[in-house]
Structure formats: structure tokens, C-alpha cells
Chain A
Amino acid sequence: MSDTTPRPSPRPAERSGWRFSAWNLLLLVPLLMLVTPWFNTVTPRLFGMPFFYWVQFVWVVVGVACVAIVYRMTRDEPVTNAPDELGVDDLDERNVR
């Protein structure tokens, strides 16, 4: 079931069934934010903001970091080698890979 070895073939090989990478477990980390008793206090304050509020802003960063790491570490498939002829790219990024 686990098949995360990088493939040198230019065309992404079609895979089947489940793919699992241990990195995906990182996606569960932000759920810890839902344990509210850990941070339901006023102190310590930051810029006058109670702990309850500013610590949840910190969790935004944690959430982004977790998803970004999973994205980076599971990027084993080359996306496409076909020339990008899509017009929307005029307004959009081109080949940011």
C-alpha cells in the first residue's frame, strides 16, 4: 500500500488504490487546537491580547506549516511534461515548480 518512491519517468505512472505516506500524519497535528482547556486563559497577554486569542493566531501558522511540509515531502510525482498552453497563465503564475 505504501508507494512513495520517486519515479524518474517523465509521465507520472498511474498508481492504484491507497497511497500512504507517514508525512500525512502531520495533518492531524492542527486538530490539537481543538483542546480548548489548554489555552482558555487571559494570561499571559501579548500586545494586550488575552492568551486565548493570540495563541489561536499562532495555531494558524502551525496549521500552514503542517500542510506545507506534507505538500513538500509527498511531492514525488512530476506534475506534467506537456507544454502549458493554457491561456489563464497570462494572468497567473507560469511553471512555479
Chain B
Amino acid sequence: MTNWVELVVFLVLFLVVTVLGFLAARWQRGGHMEHLDEWGLGGRKFGSWVTWFLVGGDLYTAYTFVAVPALLFSSGALGFYALPYTVVLYPLVFLPVLRLWSVSRVHGYVTPADFVRGRYGSSLLALIVAITGIVATMPYIALQLVGLEAVLRTMGINASGILGHLPLLIAFVILAVYTYQSGLRAPALIAFVKDILIYAVILVAVLYLPAKLGGWASIFDSAQAKLSQPSATSGGKPQGSILLTGSNQLQYITLALGSALALFLYPHSVTGVLASRGRAVLKRNMVALPAYSLLLGLLALLGYVAIAAGVKPVTNNATGRPDANTIIPALFDSQFGSLFAGIAFAAIGIGALVPAAIMSIAAANLWTRNVYKEYLHRSATPRQEARQAKLASLVVKFGAVAFILFIDPQFSIDLQLIGGVIILQTLPAVAIALYTRWLHRWALLAGWVVGMTYGMYLLSIIPNPATGRRHFGGSALTLDKLTILGWHPFAGSTVQIYVGFVALVVNLVVAVVVTWLLRAAGVFNGPDQTAPADYHADEGSPRLKPVADAVAGAPGAKVVASE
């Protein structure tokens, strides 16, 4: 059953965004579009407002908007971790992000792996960081499709088989073409539309729906009543609770903290940061970005509103299972008029395009700078780099579409879970290296290998009774199962903890111990390209490398792309 009003509103807004995406190439065009600084970082000159919309659109994705309320809907208070996560985030990253911006601006770094290479003189360590970033980002892009698809299926475009994925494919082809042409300017411009729509929708939803459904008190009461009933798969235990329980408090804390530490290690976050004009722009944004956190918290509560409204998830005709991610679209569909529901769906749908574009650009930058230029074509000119990145962005996006088309979407969700765990393993090499080179480069590598292996092992032993899976069933590890080479330090405990956090601690311990050994043995720690003052350079400083300048030291340095 297709709702035509919703569909028309959705299509009109989608069309507006598409036009914007193509026009973006002309928007404040700087020097040479055939350069990564221009295509991949929008000319490195975004001011406070543009950065706020861009980074906001980048971090708070369609999937977040769909999945966080779905988590509250199905398991209660644990899903609210998204709020503390985004509150502790900005104070934590405030200082390191400024250092990263300055050092990158002085040396012309485009990716976090570029920084690692400059800091440690190790292209191997940079390659590891780059590959970790690409692998963690890919399923994230696929998940944006899951968010978009949830909206499309709720609107009635819910065919089975490959045909059911066709609208998704069309949307992504359009996205791929204008990102190819306009680079980072496209999502920056579209983010304005997306965020204004999202703010309007959420504010209306959180004011109107509780009033309609008898106020917050009765919403929370009916949520508690439903969550306290045992479900078919929980073995007689309640499905969840509107408060944290003894066993999931530690999971709540470590998941919030681990996610906050991980977010600015993701390449797409770094892309948003490096595209800004100066340190003051970033500082203002660290103060202003929590406005989105407020929004996310309110949105999360809509999961309970959906319980109170008696919303049932839409069955995905491609997989034959009810899709919990359709809870929020289904809530809008049942409670709002068609016109407003159409706007809400467009907000979520466009919300999928902005981060998908930025993520594919970030992954393309990593590929180009740290694999292509480093290993395949060392003498690549800036123009060749830009061309390579544009092509890579297409490959990345169609890879994500293939993920959704040919593999169960559930697989992307699992991979995204793993993504958080693996990106955290680059924290010592990227974030700690911003402050000190005390950790030895080989120790960082050893820590990465051990942390990654251990994290994967722990994820592999987590079952999920709700879906009947025995491995990779979630990121909440029961401490009882925690083993260190066969030793169970917390045997019998039912307390749960976030795997990423455990793996990071192990990574750090290994890195410190190996550093001690290597320093005692006097092993060379690589050359450092950066100077201490680089980490404080601000706009206007003579230290800064000119934007879209040919990369110094490279054989192709004298070749400047012409207009």
C-alpha cells in the first residue's frame, strides 16, 4: 500500500537536494578542483556555520536517528547511552582535535593516516591506520542505506527481491554522481536542508506526540509495562527496563565512553574537522554541536512513544522478518498526517545521504593518500590524486550498495558493531601520538595486532539469544566469559562490558610494555616530521601550508593543476 502524498513530498525534497548537490560544485569554488584539498576537503575554508551543519550532518546519521529509538523500543534504558556518549564526546576531543587540525594544516595532511606517517615516518603504520579506517567506514555507509530503506519500506515501497532494492539503488546512483562532481561541498550544502528538516520534525514530534498520547508519565509507564514482560526469546526474563539493571550499568558506561573515544577516530569525522578554516571555528563548534545531542536524546525517547502508541515494526518483504529499524518511520506514519510524515521521511532519507557522501569521500582520501600514492603510484600529481579519489568514492559507494543487495542487512549492522571496536584500536597511534611520541612505532603496531585479535575473539564468543546466533551477537560481553589465555578473572559475574573498551585496554598495555622493551634495546623510533609548534599553529600563521598546493617533496611537486 503506497501513500502517494508522502511519496510526492519525499520525492520533491529529494529533487531539491539533488539539484543542490550538483550546484555545490560551483559554490565558493576555490582554486584547483583537481586537488584533494578542494575535492576532498572543500578547500579547507569552511566557517563556523558550515562546519556545524557539516559535522552535525556527519556524526548524527540517519542510522542513528532510526536505530537509537529502535534500541530503546526493544531493550529500554541501555539505548539511552547515545546521550551520555555525545555529552562526554566534546570535552574529551576538544583539545586533541585542535592539535590535529593545526598539525594537518601545517603539513597538508588530508587523513589521520597521513599524520601517523609524518609523526613516525612509518608508511606501514600509516597503512594499518588507513585500512582500519576504510574497513570501519564501509559498513557504516551500508547502514545509511538501511536507514533510507526503512523509510522507503514504510512509505509502501516494500517489494521483495532485487526489485525491492531498486529505489535505493537509484538514490545512490544520484548521490554517487554529484559527490563525484562536487566533492565535500555537496554534503556541506545538503546538510543545511537535512538539519533544518530534522530539527523541525523532532521538535514537532516531541511536543505534539506526548500531548496526544497522555503525557510523558503515561508514556514511560506503558513502556515499563511492556518491557517488563518476558519475550519469547529471553527465557522468562523481562525484555528490558526503563532503568539500568545491575548487569548492564557497566555496559552503559563503557559503551558511552568507548563510542565517544572512537567517534573522532573515524575518517569521516576527521574529514569534517580538517575542512574547517581555523581553530576558532572548531572551538565554537565544540560548544555548539551538543545542540544535536539534545535532539538525539529527545529522538531516542520516541522509542518509548512508539511503545505507548502501539506501533508495530514493518515487515521487510525482502527478508520476510519484521524490521525493528522501521519503528520511527512507522510511528510518524501512524501519528502524523501524510504531508508532515512525508517531510519527516525526507528528513531521514536526506539524513542518510549526507553522511554517506562524507564517509565515501573520507574512505577515498585514505585509499588515495595512504595506499595509492604510497604503494601504487608514488609520483602521482595532485591532479592524479584527485582523480583517483573521485573514482575510489564511486567504488566505495557501490561496494556499500552491493553489501545491502546481496548480503543480509543484518550483516552490515553486525559489521558496524565491529567497526567501533576496530577503529578504537587506532587510538594510541593517532590520538596519543598527537601529544607524545613516547610510545614506540613498533609497539603501536604490536598493540594494534593484539588489541584487534583479542577484540575479534571476544566478539566471536558473544551469543544473541534473540536472533538465535552463537557468534558476533552483540558488543556486550558478560564478564564471566572474559578470558585471558584461559584464565577467567571474573568467573560467575553477570555484569556486562563493552568489548571495544576491553580490547583498547589490552592494546594500551601491550603498547606500553613493548615500548619499554624497545627503548631498553635502543631500537630507532623513526623520524618525526612535525615540530612542537606545529600543534598550535592557527589560521594566519606563516607556518601553514598553502591550500591546494602541490605536495612538497613528492616527485610531482612542481606540477600544478591548471583550471
Q: Which A residues contact B (CB, under 8 angstroms)?
A: 11-12, 14-19, 24, 26-31, 33-37, 40-42, 45, 47-50, 52-53, 56-57, 59-60, 62-64, 66-68, 70-71, 75, 77, 79-82, 86-93, 96-97
Contacts and interface: CB of A to CB of B under 8 A. Distances in A.
B87 A93 contact: no
Interface string B497-540: 00000000000000000000000000000000001110011111
Nearest to A65: B287
A52 B541 contact: no
Interface in B93-137: 94-95
Contacts of A57: 83, 294, 297
A86 B253 contact: no
Contacts of B284: 71, 96
Contacts of B49: 91-93
Contacts, number: 158
A81 B540 contact: yes
Residue in B47, B215, B219, B220 whose Cβ sees the most chain A Cβ within 10 Å: B47
Given A63-B88, A63-B290, A56 B297 contact: yes
Contact of B94 (A27, A41, A82, A93): A27
Given A16-B533, A40-B249, 19 more contacts: A14-B537, A24-B95, A34-B84, A34-B257, A45-B217, A47-B216, A48-B218, A52-B243, A56-B80, A56-B84, A57-B294, A60-B83, A60-B87, A79-B538, A80-B540, A86-B277, A91-B49, A92-B50, A93-B48
Nearest to B297: A57
B539 A19 contact: no
B249 A12 contact: no
Contacts of B335: none
Contacts of A19: 536
Given A48-B220, A77-B538, A88-B46, A67 B90 contact: yes
B50 A71 contact: no
A16 B532 contact: yes
Interface of B is mostly: helix
11 contacts: A15-B536, A17-B532, A40-B243, A52-B243, A57-B294, A59-B83, A59-B87, A66-B91, A80-B539, A96-B48, A96-B284
A30 to B, nearest CB: 5
B461 interface: no
Nearest to A45: B217
B278 A80 contact: yes
B249 A93 contact: no
Given A27-B95, A77-B538, A79-B540, A68 B47 contact: no
Contact of A34 (B88, B220, B286, B294): B88
Nearest to B28: A87
A97 B90 contact: no
A59 B87 CA distance: 7
Nearest to B188: A88
Contacts of B216: 47-49
Given A48-B215, A71-B283, A60 B95 contact: no
B369 interface: no
B384 interface: no
Contacts of B30: 87
B243 A50 contact: yes
Interface in B41-100: 43, 45-50, 77, 80, 83-84, 87-88, 90-92, 94-95
